[in-house]
A and B are shown apart, each in its own frame.
Chain A
Amino acid sequence: MSILNYYFAAPYLAKRLKEDPKTRGAFIAVFGTLPQNIKAILVAQETAEKLVAFGDQYNLKYDVVEDIAFALREVATRTIALEKVPSFLVARGLQNDIAIAAAKEIENILGTPTGSAEQVTNNVVDLRNKSGV
């Protein structure tokens, strides 16, 4: 795991250079209140490794992997719901099926009980149908 990969694929560090100090400060405040296991996931090398491996699997560019890491952070801080992750990523130019797989990957990493991958997939299909994508 190179330090370069860690700096963009670890959810705690993802997109930090693009954030303004206020947003970053707000995130740090929320991070401080997260349960220890979630905090550990957000800063873990293991998480970054998993996301880079996911990116390699789908031949994704580094910026896209960083978007996925950022989405994971947003789910962990409850800024966005897991069901919304696919549409969040699709809006950033990711293909539908990869966005759904990324949501599953995030769910696997966080082990969140907020919804199963199937539910997420169904929600995304609904969203897609509604939006006519």
Chain B
Amino acid sequence: MRRLLCALLVSLFSAAAARAETIYVSDEEADVVHVIDGESLQVVARIAVGARPRGLGISPDQRTLYVACGDANRIDIVDLATRRVTGSLPSGPDPETFALSPDGSRIVVANEDDALVSIIGIRQRHVLHQTPVGAEPEGTAFSPDGRITAATSETANTVHLIDPQSGQNTATIIVGARPRVVRFSPDGARLWASTEVRGAVYVIDAADRRIVDTIDIAAALPEEPIVQPVGIAFTRDYRRAFIGLGRASRVAEVDPANMRIIRFFDVGNRAWNIALSPDEQRLYSANGLSGDISVIDLARNAIVASVSTGGKPWDVVVGP
């Protein structure tokens, strides 16, 4: 009896652990967010949002999805329980990506056309600070303690560190051509910046504000004519780092202990952005030109599925 109960418990537990997650994918062509069930890997819903949705973010309480709708010039607020747009945040023109503060109270948005980085209060629904930066700001990040925001400028080839309390630009770091995504390491000590044209990832010491490592991914793929590092994801223990490589149709894995490239995963075409599952057993990549999501099993280090969404997947986030 006890054995049976235990078996039942284990099976219940493993069923629950199986894939209690939902994958959200912005589609810049179809103007929807695709909702994929983590267990069945089926598209179970499509949420209509404003025109040209790209950057996505989930609130810390996992109840709200924010969607940067570039051509609608706003950030839509989606209630994840009802899967409906319940309102929007003012973002300034053409928001492409944004980052949420760790406490969920603010977002930082790059306003590409105006060379500004805006910090917006979510409750207040208005702009708290605007900071001028280099031309064509793109990627943004909040440090884990919420004390630093970072932004890349695509044509100035710069990474800007900004104090979110004052809106002051506190440091400007030059990196390679066309920087895209910035991500702080889980401990906040390092800031990684991917450069799409240069084909490298720059690792910046967040305290010293200088580059400490350059991961030359293009040089590691000499036969590949186009290597476009964009999306960056870390495991919480900072043992594994993943980088989406765009039209190289790969995701690179880097060991943050020595900054060596460990392996490449063959994913769909134009893999801009990537996301880890909450249990860190899976990595998902949004493939814009093949219109699908690649599912990587991180225990087996293998692609285990491809979920066709159609359209042009751009960003991917994972929620409960």
Co-complex (A, B): no
A residues sitting closer than 8 Å to B (CB atoms) are none
Q: Which residues of B contact A (CB under 8 A)?
A: none
